[in-house]
Amino acid sequence: LLPSKIDNAQPLLTQFDPSDYANFEEAYHVLVGALAALQVRALTLAVGSKSPQQVLLSGGFSKNQLFLEVLASNLSVPLCIS
């Protein structure tokens, strides 16, 4: 797993204000990117020094195309979506 820009994700989520962005789309992309970065951080902590073959993703975010694209671009293993 490759962490990418995860150090700035937590402060962004605790201080997120949509009015800081030019429009809804920009705010949404920043928010989803921060959520994906936190997921990468959680996965990195969970697997430790192990090298998983794939990551299984289920639930509501498995239907969010933007989240999937951002998450996949920050992982070195394939996503398996259920």
pTM: 0.76
DSSP H helical ranges for the chain: 9-14, 24-47, 65-73
Q: How far, in Å, are 9, 26, 52, 79 from residue 33 at the CA level?
A: 8, 11, 22, 17
According to the model, what pLDDT value does residue 16 have? 80
| Per-run averaged pLDDT (10 residues), the chain, 82 residues | 49 77 91 88 86 89 92 88 88
